[in-house]
Amino acid sequence: MGVLNIAIKEFEVGIRTRRFYATIFVFFVLALVFIKVTSITSGLPLNLEEMYNTPFQALFFSSLSSAFNYAVALLAVLLGATSINQEIRDGTIKVLYSKPIYRDTIIWGKLLGGILMIAVTVGLFYIFMVGIALIFGKPVTEYDISRLLAIYPFTILYGVAFYSLGLLFSVLIKTPLNSIVAGILAFLFVAIIIPMILAPLIAFAIAGAPQFSSSEFQTINSSNGSSVEITYNPFEDREFMQWMEKYMDTYRKVMYVSLTYHFDEISGIIFGRKTTEDVLGAIGQLVSMEEGSYKLVEDRSIGEAISLVVGNIIALIVSTFMFLIPAYLKFAKIDLR
């Protein structure tokens, strides 16, 4: 029995588990919830298209990308979380190890099976996203398809990073249920707690309270000498924007430990989203909508986009090995007899 045989078995088992179907369900629920929330906050259903180049691009950024990001991470970490300890608990690892194979073959076969599972599931998510877009009457252009294909290998890399984290839990925690709970908690910490709680709190603690130029709140009408208020836009206030840059700089540094942040950057930039710096520089225009035609995306080649996210790609690769190496070393010492 070789790596490929173990990988195929891992794939066949993984696609029959309740975790797989639960993750598909979670994706659909999140996608529909985000679409509903977006339609409520925008006042009109999916009325963000004027900020994007294609209707699918608007739907992807406003609703689908978060569901896609979370579903891939959750599926991958749960797959890895029971890949080893489940075999040990069921005793099937003894049968496997009784054959003339090395432990390297077992763990690499598990990893390859996880990659196959993630690759197939990402393809299914693509089909579902296109289907959801068509149901909502949003055409999918050649540009959209090319960008989905471009982020495909990086989505798998992102999934492998989470699978490696789950694999580490699987060799450290003997009980499959406990390792699943650990995987879910790790997912919540990385995907929810860091971006929504820790990063904003730390950024606020370092940047301090927002700074405003109080003189901007009023002006004197020199023609009659009376004081009149003018419409104040904080995003046109130099002091406020300096505070905002400091806040966002700290926020991004904290977020750099989050795998979901790196994948969001990779998929967003490849799909044409402007960089955070570009958006911050024009946020005053975005808020006031003075010109009514501000775009959150721009035309750039796939090669140029990848060059902008090299650091995020390296972070995913480093994270994968950071989890995989200790998992491999621990598995090499486990008593399988």
pLDDT tens across 275-311, in order? 877 776 666 666 555 555 667 888 889 999 999 999 9
pLDDT average, residue stretch 40-55: 68
Share of the chain above pLDDT 90, in %: 41
**Residue 101 predicted with pLDDT over 90:** no
Q: Which tokens in the block code for residue 152?
A: 């495909």
Residue of higher predicted confidence among 32 and 307: 307
More confident: 44 or 316: 316
pLDDT of residue 52: 86
| pLDDT band at residue 74 under the 50/70/90 scheme | very high
Structure tokens at 200: 């904003």
pLDDT digits (tens, 9 = 90+) for 203-251: 889 888 777 765 555 555 555 555 555 566 666 677 877 888 888 889 9
pLDDT score for 46: 47
Q: How far apart are CA 243 and CA 204, in angstroms?
A: 10
- Residue 164's pLDDT is what? 95
Give dist(CA 59, CA 141) in Å, integer: 13
Query: pLDDT-derived band of residue 104, with 50, 70 and 90 as boundaries?
Result: confident
Q: What is the mean pLDDT of residues 126-134?
A: 92
Helix 18-41 with 65-81: angle, nearest 10 deg: 160
Q: Highest mean pLDDT: which of 42-51, 57-66, 118-127?
A: 118-127
The pair of three-digit structure tokens given for residue 150, joined into one six-digit string: 């471009």
Q: Any alpha helices (H) in 142-292, and if so which ranges? A: 142-172, 176-188, 199-207, 238-255, 259-270, 276-281, 283-288
pLDDT reported for residue 42: 60
Please, which pLDDT band fits residue 22 given cuts at 50, 70 and 90? confident
The domain spans of the chain are 3-210+242-333
The residue to which tokens 């910490």 are assigned: 189
pLDDT at 44 over 60: no
Q: What's this model's pTM, rounded to 2 decimal places? A: 0.85
Amino acid at 37: V
What distance lies between CA 207 and its chain's CA centroid? 26
